[in-house]
């Protein structure tokens, strides 16, 4: 996805609302094959962001996810939809 794409700008705005600082951009998503499928089949980019913390050990045998991270993710995706609707 181009860095100046509307989706990236919207996620940046949401990140600024919640953290008050610029997000760290990482080109990833190789383990989410549906992203490539959407681009190939529909011609649309997808944008993803997550709120898991390093000590939660995502995808490990003893992973966990804080309710606060879950709630922030819910709030952020709602803010993202509102921002995209503008």
The residue range of the domain holding 81 is 6-85
Q: Which two structure tokens, joined as six digits, stand for 19?
A: 């953290």
Q: Would you say residue 25 lies in a domain?
A: yes
- Specify the CATH number for the domain of residue 21: 1.10.150.900
Instruction: Kindly report the pTM of this predicted structure.
Output: 0.77
Question: Is residue 68 in some structural domain?
Answer: yes
- The pLDDT, as a whole number, for residue 29 is 54
Supply the DSSP string of 38-79, one letter for each residue.
Answer: HHHHH-----------GGG-TTSTT----HHHHHHHHHHHHH
Which residue in the block uniquely carries the two structure tokens 């819910």? 74
Q: How many domains does the chain have?
A: 1
- Is 70 inside a domain boundary? yes
Q: Which residues of the chain have pLDDT under 70?
A: 28-31
- What is the per-residue pLDDT for 31? 66
**Structural domain includes residue 1:** no
d(CA 65, CA 22): 24
Give pLDDT, residue 75. Answer: 95
């Amino acid at each position: 996805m181009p860095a100046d794409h509307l989706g990236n700008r919207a996620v940046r705005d949401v990140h600024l609302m919640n953290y008050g600082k610029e997000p760290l951009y990482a080109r990833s998503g190789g383990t989410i094959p549906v992203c490539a499928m959407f681009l190939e089949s529909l011609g649309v980019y997808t944008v993803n962001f997550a709120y898991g913390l390093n000590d939660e050990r995502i995808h490990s045998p003893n992973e966990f996810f804080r309710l606060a991270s879950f709630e922030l993710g819910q709030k952020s995706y709602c803010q993202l939809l509102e921002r995209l609707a503008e």
